Amino acid sequence: RVRQAVVSTQSTGSFLFFPHVLPKYTITIMTTETLRRELTGRMMYMDGGMGTMIQQLNLKEEDYRGQQFVDHPCPLIGNNDLLSITQPHLIKKIHKDYLEIGGADFISTNTFNSTSIAMADYQMENLIYQLNMASAKVAVEAAQEVTCDTGVVRYVIGVLGPTNKTLSLSPSVENPAFRNITFDECVEAYTEQTAALLDGGVDILMVETIFDTLNAKAALFAIDQLLETEKYQGWDIPIFVSGTVVDLSGRTLSGQTVEAMVTSLKHFKPLCMGLNCALGATEMRQFIRELGECTETFVSCYPNAGLPNAFGGYDDTPEEMAEILKEWADLGLVNVLGGCCGTTPEHIRAIVEATKHATPRKIHNKMDSYKLTLSGLEPMLAFEESNFINIGERCNVAGSSVFKKHIMNDRYSAALEIAKKQIMEGAQILDLNFDDGMIDGAKAMSHFVNLITCEPDVSRVPLCIDSSDFQVIEAGLKCTQGKCIVNSISLKEGVEDFLAKAAIVKRYGAAVVVMAFDEEGQADNFERKIEICKRSYDLLVQKAGFNPADIIFDPNLLTIGTGLSEHSEYGKDFIRATEWIKENLPRAHVSGGLSNLSFAFRGNRIIREALHSVFLSYATQVGLDMGIVHAGNLPLLKDIEPTLKQLCDDLIWNRNGEEITEKMLLYAEKVKGKAVKKNNSDEDWFKKPLKERLSNAIVNGIDKYIVADVKEFKETTDTPPLQIIEGPLLDAMGIVGDLFGSGKMFLPQVIKSARVMKKAVAYLTPFIEASKVEGQADKGTIVLATVKGDVHDIGKNIVGVVLGCNNYRVIDLGVMCPLEKILSTAVKEKADIIGVSGLITPSLREMVNIATEMNNRGMTTPLLIGGATTSRKHTAVKIWPSYPDLCIYVPDASRAVNVATSLVNKDAKYVQDVRKLYEKVQADHVKTLQKKEITPLKECREKKFKCTLPAPPPPNQLGVQVLKNYNLESIVELIDWKPFFDVWQLRGRYPNRSYPKIFNDKTVGEEARKLFADAQEMLSVLVTSLQGRAVIGIFPAWSEGDDVVIKHMKRELKCYMLRQQIKSGKEDVYLGTADFIGGPGSNDHMGMFCCSVFGSVSMATKYEDSGDDYNSLMIKSLADRLVEAMAEHLHLKIRKDIWGYDKEESFDAADLHSVKYQGTRPAPGYPSLPDHALKDVLWDVLDVDNNIGATLTDSYAMEPPPSVCGLYIAHPESSYFNLGLVARDQVENYAQRQGVNVSQAELALDTILGYEPNNNMN
């Protein structure tokens, strides 16, 4: 269907569509693409509240009835949608006021309640088509008239409201699984409404005021289904979606976060997503920012005119609302603005005037394209570096006899407790299966999913809807507001059936498990597994249009150890197939059911659990993403008895043929009923007094005996478990804290001590909970988090350990934490302090956002700032003014305890001293800016660096190269060890600062040697366990002003760069990176690279989860060193071979670390290239996501965290330099070149601005 639009070109031709209007303008075709271009090019505007305007008319019952409904049997006052039939002139005037007075681009049909569901309240279910048709026609007529009068195209949005019933919530407190409407009934109602709106001529369809995502799914399902019918097939109808956050928790009424809602609905590919209603502009800002960070669509927002007052009115004036929304627009947060409840044409006009010159939000295409995104009440992302995802198996009638009994006996509340327990034990997804001949699967599935939905502790995680009966799967999908997994479909019934089921799954927006079955049966060997998976993948991607990231293969994990030779390769074949899928089927995921593997040993829990853990250790290394497991029953590898571990190894890899099964059976008999005994070598330890043993264990970091000693202390002294913690254990930790504070103990030792303490507390915790005694008294509660957009956590983790050692209760929220999660957790946990950390410069902006929001909310919780890019100066100048007296910079872990103690004790003198210090820093900063002689950009360009030596030769190899399975052992010799010791806060004094001289330092030398020895031991494991991957490329390039243009595959891409404006050195020269690249026609080149180390995060997390912070931090710090060594090694290969401009180079590692080689490899975010946005170009040109699996967060942090990227510049005169401060003239020019507003450029360059920005600047 082609919709028509009027454009502002004079015409003398006939006017076909509006016979009542004189022809002024020509008719041109308008498509979704033209609307997309308009949204890209300028801010656009919706109308305001229809209900607000109707209320001002003070209409009476007879006005609503009109002539048509005089005899209607029930009251009609308040049925605003009916006025489109009975008083169409009033509705049309409201539309035209928003268009003419307000200047809106979009008007919304008066159909918020025009479904049979909502109209049942007025006994008008039979009038739905007429209501929607009338509303559409009156809106279209108003839009056409104003379009013809002004020459500016106006659009009509057909509105589908939420109805007055919810699919995710029960209207009965007594019966939480009850629903008073079904998904199918909702789809039917929305289908009827949509058809009438389309027939009435609307341009856009919008599902709005979403307070229950499942209702919205039904609406979008109806639209999608209708547009495939013969009548509407091919109609070009853009879809808008707008949710409603009901309060400052940032959740919808049905409990989803904004990001979870987006995840649940994005498969419908709306053109625009946004928020409306419930909150005013002030309260909604943080949630619009959050929505923008997780969507690849245009973003809209039409808030209320403030929160309702005591009389149900709205108090924000047009000017107040416009001022707030102008801030949003200047920050590039939105594309479409408008108003909801309480807003009038005057509000819209004020918003238009305040924001019309702003640059609209740029769509980010890097968000989730290469990740599996799932959601319950909260989102869950699975990506290359994610840990193994545990899918809980106990809510499966085939996997749990207890669960089955509860379902058979209608004890759903008891069954729900099993689901809760799985979540507590670590399940991240719940598998639900009700396949049993004595159970009505569809009914049980619907009932249990509805019950789960009302239990937030369970429904926060995604579901895996599991059944061999596709009707049961659909029953589950119709009750699930989140994005779930369907388990499963296969080619068993042929291609037609496979694609039909895939289309249904896709319409519901679920990911899908694909079993390795086809028409011939189950794949039971490697060749058949990969053949079926490849065929299924091609069908799903090419025929069904599936997002490859939503495809999860189960290559059939079959039983081993049966004694049958034909079964002996099953484990090995699964691992091989997993590796093949990850390498050959881009972005697909792999899952498996672990209980199948060990089924031959059913009844022997020790064997089964050990076999599962050993198998996972191999399968996850080659890419197994998830599996259906009993999350609470996976032992750590180090805890498995060595003989058993070796037997498991042999069984999985089919070593020793049939003998291995016999050996395993013999071992199983041996371990039955045997207790673990102490070794004779333990005698010396146990001769010491018990209390001394506890203290020695913690102070010296010895965990071998701690559980046995704590158990003995508890039993022999009859001391309550809480008093053991508060007594001998905390006394020992006090010694640790004193030694660390006095410099007599070092960070590696502290972390080892913390590991022992955690192990002791973990043993005592169940006893404390059983006795229902309140938790340990502590000095205070501290919430720690790495801010959203950043994935680096080493420093934060160290601070957490040190604070924990000093008796603070630490709540670590991990990495990538959104603002709302940090603040809501702090309020919920009654935190005494919040600590935020970040490594990359965009994290500094998020810290400012957090401080500002805390101030806006009137919070008084102190905020600690830390991380590699933070500083006292930045905190004082940029963050502290947003949250004065309560924002403190903490340079490292050793200072954290003193700062925390001062704040928790409300030390007024300390706060006053900080204020004086920060005010001085601010004053010094202003003086520095005033003293700095910043040269005008024009003059700097005239005095740019001019190369005098010849350009480097052309490269030996052009284009992109991918290097997977990088040999990590070969690069160990290139590790720069100084940063490693810095991370562990071991710093020698001159002349013993660097490696290896640090070993000679009198103070830290001995501990440095111990740490280095531990590092070597761990490194020997990591180089064979982790995987290095790299992608590099060299391309024709030329400078264009201050920028560099590269050419790749017939595309020309610009790398935007900056120039010094403060003279460096004695020469009157102002450097820019582009100075080292020849101009157009120079036949010059530039390289790019990205390298990553995969596997360290999951490995470190396993240690962390077991309380071993020492080895966790060891892995993370060594992975960082390995990826830096890989970058060094790659650059060496570039110079000597791939580019080959310095083939004779011969430097040792120390020379390389001292940069004695020719050329440079500057990285985005570093001194000469401060804008991280340059990474977008690298990711695009090198296709990093697809080629090596590394991704970017919305703040340009790289995942996995051990990742490095940058440029290769080969000119012999190229050098590393510090850009320094830049002036307003360069920032304005930089913004203009990129096509963004100045405020956005200032945010990107915040740390190098040589002036105080004007936040109101467009």
Q: Is 364 a catalytic residue?
A: no
pLDDT tens-place string over residues 645-681: 999 999 999 987 778 888 887 887 777 544 333 333 4
Amino acid present at 191: T
| From 301-315, 403-417, 846-860, 1171-1185, the region with the lowest mean pLDDT | 301-315
- Per the model's pLDDT, the better-predicted residue between 1230 and 383 turns out to be 1230
Mean pLDDT of 249-267: 91
pLDDT band at 988 (very low <50, low <70, confident <90, very high): confident
Between CA 752 and CA 733 the distance in angstroms is 11
Q: What is the pTM of this model?
A: 0.65
Q: What is the mean pLDDT of the chain?
A: 86
Contact 794, 1112 (CB under 8 A): no
Is residue 1207 scored above 90 in pLDDT?
yes
- What is the DSSP secondary structure assignment for residue 360, as one 8-state letter? P
Between CA 438 and CA 444 the distance in angstroms is 11
- Given 135, 843, 902, 1092, which residue is catalytic? 843
Between CA 143 and CA 21 the distance in angstroms is 13
| From 204-213, 496-505, 518-527, 789-798, the region with the lowest mean pLDDT | 789-798
pLDDT band at 1056 (very low <50, low <70, confident <90, very high): very high
| From 104-113, 569-578, 1141-1150, the region with the lowest mean pLDDT | 1141-1150
- Alpha carbon separation from 62 to 88, 132, 369, 720, 949 (Å, rounded): 15, 21, 54, 76, 90
Q: How do 1051-1055 and 1043-1048 pair as beta strands?
A: antiparallel
Mean pLDDT of 223-235: 94
Residue 777 is predicted with a pLDDT of: 52
Residue 129 parent element (H or E): helix 128-150
How many other CB atoms are found less than 10 A from the CB of residue 668? 16
Is residue 689 scored above 70 in pLDDT?
yes
Place of tokens 């005239």: 942
SS3 assignment, position 1013: helix
Between CA 269 and CA 257 the distance in angstroms is 19
Cα 828 versus chain centre, distance: 22
Contact 1077, 1044 (CB under 8 A): yes
Residue 1119 is predicted with a pLDDT of: 94
375: left (phi over 0), alpha (psi -120 to 50) or beta: beta
Mean pLDDT of 138-164: 94
Between CA 486 and CA 473 the distance in angstroms is 7
pLDDT tens-place string over residues 493-545: 999 999 999 999 999 999 999 999 999 989 999 999 999 999 999 999 999 99
- Given 267, 447, 589, 792, which residue is catalytic? 792
Contact 378, 254 (CB under 8 A): no
Residue 9 is predicted with a pLDDT of: 33
pLDDT band at 985 (very low <50, low <70, confident <90, very high): confident
pLDDT band at 310 (very low <50, low <70, confident <90, very high): low
Q: Is 792 a catalytic residue?
A: yes
Q: Environment class of residue 619 by beta-carbon count within 10 Å: exposed (0-12), middle (13-18) or buried (19+)?
A: buried
Which of 25-39, 164-178, 379-393 reaches the highest mean pLDDT? 164-178
Mean pLDDT of 469-492: 96
Residue 20 is predicted with a pLDDT of: 34
Partnered with residue 517 across adjacent β-strands are 522
H-state helical runs in 1148-1197? 1149-1153, 1174-1182, 1184-1188
Name the residue among 314, 296, 292, 295 with its Cα closest to residue 305.
314
pLDDT band at 992 (very low <50, low <70, confident <90, very high): low
Residue 424 is predicted with a pLDDT of: 76
Partnered with residue 1087 across adjacent β-strands are 1034, 1208
In degrees to the nearest 10, what's the CA dihedral of 309, 312, 314, 315? Answer: -40
Contact 159, 50 (CB under 8 A): no
Between CA 1152 and CA 1146 the distance in angstroms is 10
CA angle (471 as vertex; 469, 476 as ends), nearest 5: 100
Contact 376, 459 (CB under 8 A): yes
Residue 617 parent element (H or E): helix 605-619
Between CA 918 and CA 888 the distance in angstroms is 9
Residue 840 is predicted with a pLDDT of: 67
Place of tokens 């008796």: 807
Between CA 1167 and CA 1174 the distance in angstroms is 13
Name the residue among 387, 386, 313, 383 with its Cα closest to residue 344.
313
Residue 15 is predicted with a pLDDT of: 31
Is residue 1115 scored above 90 in pLDDT?
yes
Residue 322 parent element (H or E): helix 318-330
Between CA 347 and CA 334 the distance in angstroms is 17
Mean pLDDT of 936-945: 92
Is residue 385 scored above 50 in pLDDT?
yes
Q: Please provide the size of the chain in residues.
A: 1258
Contact 763, 710 (CB under 8 A): yes
Amino acid present at 693: R
Q: Which long-range contacts (CB under 8 A, 24 or more apart) does 945-951 make?
A: 945/1069, 945/1070, 945/1071, 945/1072, 945/1075, 945/1076, 945/1213, 946/1075, 947/1075, 947/1076, 947/1211, 947/1213, 948/1213, 949/1211, 949/1212, 949/1213, 951/1078, 951/1082, 951/1083, 951/1084, 951/1211
pLDDT tens-place string over residues 995-1041: 888 888 887 888 888 889 889 999 988 998 899 999 999 999 999 99
Angle of helix 659-671 relative to helix 642-652, nearest 10 degrees? Answer: 150
Between CA 58 and CA 318 the distance in angstroms is 22
Mean pLDDT of 976-988: 84
Structural tokens at position 1039: 């400078």
Contact 1169, 1057 (CB under 8 A): yes
pLDDT band at 897 (very low <50, low <70, confident <90, very high): confident
b/e 151-184 (16+ beta carbons within 10 angstroms → b): eebbbbbbbbbbbebbbbbbeeeeebbebebebe
Between CA 276 and CA 300 the distance in angstroms is 8
H-state helical runs in 454-566? 456-459, 470-477, 495-508, 526-538
Between CA 417 and CA 505 the distance in angstroms is 29
Residue 776 is predicted with a pLDDT of: 45
Contact 850, 836 (CB under 8 A): yes
- Given 554, 709, 790, 812, which residue is catalytic? 790
Residue 44 is predicted with a pLDDT of: 97
Contact 1093, 1202 (CB under 8 A): yes
| From 75-79, 639-643, 738-742, 953-957, the region with the lowest mean pLDDT | 738-742
Partnered with residue 1085 across adjacent β-strands are 1036
Helix/strand/coil (H/E/C) assignment for every residue in 83-102: HHHHCHHHHHHHHHHHHHCC
Between CA 468 and CA 398 the distance in angstroms is 12
Mean pLDDT of 917-938: 82
Mean pLDDT of 260-275: 95
Contact 452, 459 (CB under 8 A): yes
Between CA 137 and CA 132 the distance in angstroms is 8
Mean pLDDT of 67-74: 93
pLDDT tens-place string over residues 695-722: 888 887 787 888 888 888 888 888 888 7
| From 357-366, 479-488, 1041-1050, 1165-1174, the region with the lowest mean pLDDT | 357-366
Residue 766 parent element (H or E): helix 747-770
DSSP string over 671-722: HTTPPP---GGGHHHHTS-HHHHHHHHHHHT--SSHHHHHHHHHHHH---HH
How many other CB atoms are found less than 10 A from the CB of residue 719? 13
Name the residue among 619, 591, 582, 626 with its Cα closest to residue 1189.
582
- For the chain, report the end-to-end CA distance as a whole number of angstroms: 39
For the chain, state the CA radius of gyration: 33
Is residue 202 scored above 90 in pLDDT?
yes
pLDDT tens-place string over residues 598-653: 888 877 788 888 899 899 889 988 989 998 877 556 676 767 888 999 999 999 99
SS3 assignment, position 1037: strand
Residue 19 is predicted with a pLDDT of: 33
Residue 631 is predicted with a pLDDT of: 53
Residue 1044 is predicted with a pLDDT of: 96
Q: Is 843 a catalytic residue?
A: yes
Task: Give the side-chain half-sphere CA count within 13 A for 261.
Answer: 32
